[in-house]
Amino acid sequence: MRTDRLAVLVVALGLSLSLQSAPQAGPKDKVPAGKKPTSLVRKDLLVFGKGEIAPPRRDIFRPRDYGQLAAPPVVPAGRPAPKRPGPAVKAETSFVLDLVYLGSVRSGGRIVALILRDGQTMSVAEGDQIIPGYTAVRVTAEEIEVEGPDSQRKTFPRQGERP
């Protein structure tokens, strides 16, 4: 008998709390008579049926191949294409590349190295160019070998967590 009263009391308390917390229609929720409610989506910015959609530049789920050049910029008709500046010629021929080899991923039968350079994470494979003049020559699970200007080579051991 006591449990029945307790159960009824709990149900009544729950009902009263739910009625108090129910959202009340305020003045900002009401729409004046004769006026259509405004949508949160700006339909005037949507584009429908205006030609073909261009293919994506890259698949975000696959490692990026830094060895390939980026797509040329689209230039409106009648304007000459902007000229790309040539590679800067350095008087100093020392190996100045500073990177951290974090680890590797096996992708498509090849090993892709994950490196950290200037605070940015990059993925490179053998033959990929890290920055102009510096190419990844050999990539293993334990180290990456980079060839710089004048055929100088430097090996970077893996710095990530080791098993």
Neighbours of 139 (CB within 10 A): 22
SS3 of residue 74 by DSSP: coil
pTM: 0.42
Q: Please give the Cα distance from 125 to 109 (Å, whole number).
A: 11
What are residue 145's phi and psi, to 5 degrees? -110, 130
Decide if 130 contacts 97 (C-beta within 8 A).
yes
Per-residue pLDDT tens, the chain, 163 aa: give them: 677 888 888 888 888 877 776 565 555 566 677 777 777 888 777 767 666 767 777 667 776 665 555 555 665 666 666 666 666 554 455 778 888 999 888 878 888 989 988 888 888 999 999 888 899 999 998 999 999 888 889 999 988 665 5
